[in-house]
Structure formats: structure tokens, C-alpha cells
Amino acid sequence: MHKILFKKNIVFIVILLITGSIVSEARTLKVGYIEFPPVFYTNDKGNPEGILIDLASKIIPEAGYEWQAFSYPVKRMAGYIVSGKLDLWIGLNTIPVFENNAYKSSIKVHEITLKVYRTDKRLPDIKNPEDLKNKSVIILSGYSYGGWINFINNRINSVKYTKAHNHDSALKMLKAGRADYLLNYNRPAEKAIKKSSEENIYSNTVSSFGAYFVVSKKVPDAENILKNLEAAYLKLKREKKL
């Protein structure tokens, strides 16, 4: 009798495993990010937010993982990837300490582009901070623009700036002639432009960098994690969900 019950229990467990009724807990990846809005930052509620955070929220679950995000200064974040305290970074893959200490994707998952927008095509392009001397520009509150904000804030440079609280209001201010230029990242700026159906907006690129998956070599099964993330990214791209 006991042997029959034992066999039945074994068969039941096998059936559950085959049908997926018993599911192992998904692995949680520790993701590092830095305070660099709108790419990634901590919002007023203390939660991670931004372009690459949105990307992570789609790709990581698709790859079969759960995730938590932790904000650190760049140097510390990179060190934690090397030590294995953090599993994953999505961003620049050229940080020197990553060499030989992390697996880096060959796939570029996003291109972050900083642009200067204007409504008057006769105005000259802005290619570096010095070009803003004695000019007026709209900036987004809380943005550092990769260091440009230090030049803009320095009174000696005579940059007249106006702050906007969001991308839609920044575009409206530009169209209303509140300043000659708008300094912004392409993805949120062009989303606002599309929403407004505005056609007479001209721009030039100031800088750009590619974002890649970087997985710590200290993480167990790191190479497979990278492969799964790349496969999830490509799948979502094919399905036009990114």
C-alpha cells in the first residue's frame, strides 16, 4: 500500500513539473544606476526612474529575472560591478575597471543623444558649452547635461537660462520665444515634439553615447545571464515593444 502511494506521489510531482505548476523562484538581479536624469535617477518618491530604467523594466523580466535597482556614484557603482556586489549595469561599457572584470554585450541597447533645439533655423548650431555665451537657453530642472550645467550656471559666461519642469513645458517655452535654444535629450524632447505636432523645430547633436549590458564576472552563470538579456532585448525589438 505504501509503495503504491509513493509511486502515485512521484507521478504527481512529475506531472506538476511538466505542466509548470511548480515554479522555482525567479532570480533577482541587482542593477546599478547613477543620478543622471533623464537617463536614470531617483524620483521624489525614492524610486528609480528614467530612460534606461524603463528599458530595464521591460527587458529583465522578459529574460526571466526579477530585479532591484541601486543608485551609487559612478566610481562606486563600477567598483561594485567588479566586486560582484552589483550584478548588472546598463550604460557605458568603456569604464576602465570593467575590462577583464565584466562581460559586455556586443549589442547596443540604446543610444543616448544630447541635442540643442531651436525654432529659428538661422541661429547657429551649438556644439559646445562655450557656444552658449551671451545666449539664452531653456534647461530642465535637475539635469546636469553631462557637466554643461556648471558652465550655464557660472555667471561669468553670461548665459541667460530659463528652467522648465517637464519636456512639454520646455517645448512650449521654446515655441513662445522664451529663449533661443532648448538643451535636451532626444528621446523625451522628440516625444514632446511629436505630441505637439510641431514641425518647425531644428536641432543639432551635441553628444551621444551607447548603452550596453555589463554583467559582473563575479556573478554565477554570468555569461548565460548576458545571453538571456540580449535574447530578450532582440525579441522585444522584433515585437516592436521597445
What does the pLDDT look like over 71-107, one tens digit per residue?
999 999 999 999 999 999 999 999 999 999 999 999 9
Non-local CB neighbours of 162 within 8 Å, separated by 6+ positions: 136, 137, 138, 139, 173, 178, 179
* Range 27-48 average pLDDT: 96
Tell me, yes or no, whether 106 and 146 share the same domain. no
* Residue 184 belongs to domain spanning: 113-208
Task: Look at residue 53 and tell me if it is in a domain.
Answer: yes
Q: Do 216 and 151 fall within a single domain?
A: no
Mean pLDDT confidence for 114-143: 96
Q: Quick one: average pLDDT of 62-68?
A: 98
Quick count: other Cβ atoms within 10 Å of Cβ 141? 10
Residue 14 lies in a domain: no
**Those residues with Cβ within 8 angstroms of residue 51's Cβ, 6 or more apart along the chain or in another chain:** 38, 39, 40, 110, 112, 185, 187, 188
More confident: 5 or 94: 94
- pLDDT tops 60 at residue 1: no
Q: Is 84 found in the same domain as 72?
A: yes
- Residue 19 has what pLDDT? 43
Is 7 contained in some domain? Answer: no
By the 8 A CB rule, do 63 and 232 touch?
Answer: yes
User: Is 39 a member of any domain?
Assistant: yes
Residues 30 and 193: their CA atoms lie apart, in Å, by 35
Report the pLDDT averaged over residues 159-186: 97
Residue 46 grid cell: 525614492
Question: Do 71 and 96 fall within a single domain?
Answer: yes
Strand-pairing partners, residue 117, are 182, 203
Do 165 and 214 belong together in one domain? no
Same domain (yes/no): 164, 184: yes
Amino acid 25: pLDDT: 66
Q: Model pTM?
A: 0.80
In whole angstroms, give the CA distance from residue 60 to residue 28. Answer: 10
Q: Is residue 171 part of a domain?
A: yes
The structural domain count of the chain equals: 2
The DSSP annotation for 68-108 comes to: EEEE--HHHHHHHHHHTSS-EEEE-S--GGGTTTEEE-SS-
- Domain containing 121 — which CATH number? 3.40.190.10
Query: Within 13 Å, how many C-alpha atoms sit on residue 58's CB side?
Result: 17
pLDDT reported for residue 83: 98
Residue 6: inside a domain: no
Which of 86, 112, 109, 78 lies closest to 229, judged by CA? 109
In a domain, 11, yes or no: no
Res. 53 pLDDT band, cuts 50 70 90: very high
How much is the mean pLDDT over the chain? 91
Under 8 Å between Cβ of 72 and 34: yes
Question: Do 28 and 142 reside in the same domain of the chain?
Answer: no
